[in-house]
Structures are given as C-alpha cells and as structure tokens.
Amino acid sequence: MTGAEITTARLRGERPRVEHGPLYEDLFGSDAVAATLWPAPHGGPRTPAEAHELLAQDLAHWQDEEFGPWIVFESAAGARFVGHGGLRRGLIEDEAIVEVLYAVHPDAWGRGYATELARAAVQRARELTVTEVVGFALTTNRASQRVLEKAGLRFERTVEHARLAHWFGRLTL
C-alpha cells in the first residue's frame, strides 16, 4: 500500500483526482451528509462549485503534505462509491492538528464503513509517525462520536468548529 492508497477488509481508498469531481458533488451535495457536516443555517448542501472547491483543497493538501483524504470505494466487485475520508492538517484554537475525517454516502450508512475508514486513517497516521490525531463531530451527532471513539479517540472537550459546537476527541499515537 502506498501513501496515496488504503485497503481495508471491505474498502479501497485512493488519492483524489480532478475526475472525482462528480463524486464530490454527489457526496457533499447530499442533504443527509450536509446535515451531519454543515446543518442549516451554516451552509447546508454544497453546490457543485463548492464541492469542486473541496476537491481542490484536498488536491492541494496532498500536494503540500503527501497525505490527505482519500476517495473511497467498496473493494468488492463493482467498486461502489462509499465516501471520503482520511487525514488533514489544520488548526483548532491556534493548535496545529492532524484531523481524522470522513463523510460516508447515505446509501452506505449503517454498514460500519465510517468506523473502518476512521481506523484506517489512524493506522495511516501511525505509519506517518504522527504523534496524535484529533476528530470532530457535532455535539448532536452521537453516531459520528461513536465512530471516533471506536477508532480510539477519547472525548477531551467541546469546541466551536465551523461556527458550531463540536465533540472534540484526541488520540495519542
């Protein structure tokens, strides 16, 4: 496995490419996904242009850091699109962080893919010798909090992130 790819028992992730624009549009334009990431009035579903801007940010992150979020498919025949996730550098309250992030297409919810993806991101962080990772979930999104907990992150505090209250967890590697 190269840094640009991941493989788990059921998933295959790859470094995003410009051609993945329609997948970003589908995922981040979804009402259900937007409700977990940017609930109204804080943005809601992303327009195609905004989805392409998210892709551009991921492409730039990969260029700058040589790691980042993957575009994720089922590894079985048919390679159905599952979502997006991995690692991203950022800042929270002026602290430099490496975030475990994921967004799973609603058609794939309830199958454990988010947990599998979050665990793969933590494993990749270990391979990169990152010393710790963090994760965010809306304080109202218990399912996403559980995903982060299953990946080993432990609640530290509530923070404001993207203008909303978020559960904030950390894992020292």
CATH classification of the domain holding 41: 3.40.630.30
pLDDT at 2: 54
Q: Rounded to an integer, what distance in angstroms lies between the CA atom of residue 54 and that of residue 23? A: 11
pLDDT at 147: 98
**Could you list the residue range(s) of the whole structural domain that residue 149 is in?**
5-172
pTM for this entry: 0.94
Q: Rounded to an integer, what distance in angstroms lies between the CA atom of residue 57 and that of residue 59? A: 5
Residue 157: CB atoms within 10 A of its CB come to 10
117 in Cβ contact with 83 (< 8 Å): yes
52 in Cβ contact with 20 (< 8 Å): no
Q: Rounded to an integer, what distance in angstroms lies between the CA atom of residue 167 and that of residue 6? A: 27
pLDDT at 1: 42
pLDDT tens across the length of the chain (173 residues):
456 889 999 999 999 999 999 999 999 999 999 999 988 777 899 999 999 999 999 999 999 998 999 999 998 766 899 999 999 999 988 999 999 999 999 999 999 999 999 999 999 999 999 999 999 999 999 999 999 999 999 999 999 887 889 999 999 99
pLDDT at 4: 81
**Number of domains forming the structure of the chain:** 1
Q: Looking at the DSSP assignment, which residues form a beta bridge with residue 11?
A: 74
Helical (H) or strand (E) element with 146 = helix 142-150
Residue 18: CB atoms within 10 A of its CB come to 9
Helical (H) or strand (E) element with 104 = strand 95-104
pLDDT at 13: 94
Q: Rounded to an integer, what distance in angstroms lies between the CA atom of residue 99 and that of residue 96? A: 10
DSSP string covering 24-80, please?
HHHHHT-HHHHHHHS-TTS--SPPHHHHHHHHHHHHHHHHHHS--EEEEEESSTT--
